[in-house]
Amino acid sequence: MLNYPPQFTKFGLVGLINTMIHAVVLIGSVELLSLVPVAGNLVAFLVANMASFMMNSYWTFKVSPDVRRYIKFFLCSLFALGLTIGIAWVFQALGLHYGLGFLGVILIVPPLNYWALKRWTFTVH
C-alpha cells in the first residue's frame, strides 16, 4: 500500500469533499435557480473554491486564512485548471483516448497543486 504523508492525505480528502460541494451547488444552480450549466459551473467553482480554501487553511495546512493567501490559492486553482486543460489538449492532439488524458490529469495536477499550495500559498513567514 502507498504511504502518503498525512498532510497530502488530508489534501486529497478535501479535494473529494470539494468535488461533492461543486456537484451539489451545480445541481442546485441549474435545477433550482434555473441557471444555464456554464453559469452553474462558475457559481459551483467559486463556492467550492472558497470551501476548499477554508478547509485547506484550517485542516490541511493549519494556518489562518486571509485575503493574501486566498488570492494565491485562487491563482493556484487557475493554474491547476489550465494544466488540466493543457494535459487534456495534448492527449486529444495525439489522438489518444480522453480517459488516458484524465489519468494524466489525476497523476500530475493534484501533486503539483499540493506542492504549490504548500510552498507558496500556505507558507508561514
Question: From residue 13, how far is each of 9, 19, 34, 91, 108 by CA, in Å?
Answer: 6, 10, 30, 27, 17
Enumerate residues 6+ apart whose C-beta is below 8 A from 114. 8, 11
Amino acid at 49: N
pTM of the model: 0.91
The per-residue pLDDT string of the chain (125 residues; one tens digit each, 9 = 90 and over) reads 556 789 999 999 999 999 999 999 999 999 999 999 999 999 999 999 999 999 999 999 999 999 999 999 999 999 999 999 999 999 999 999 999 999 999 999 999 999 999 999 999 86
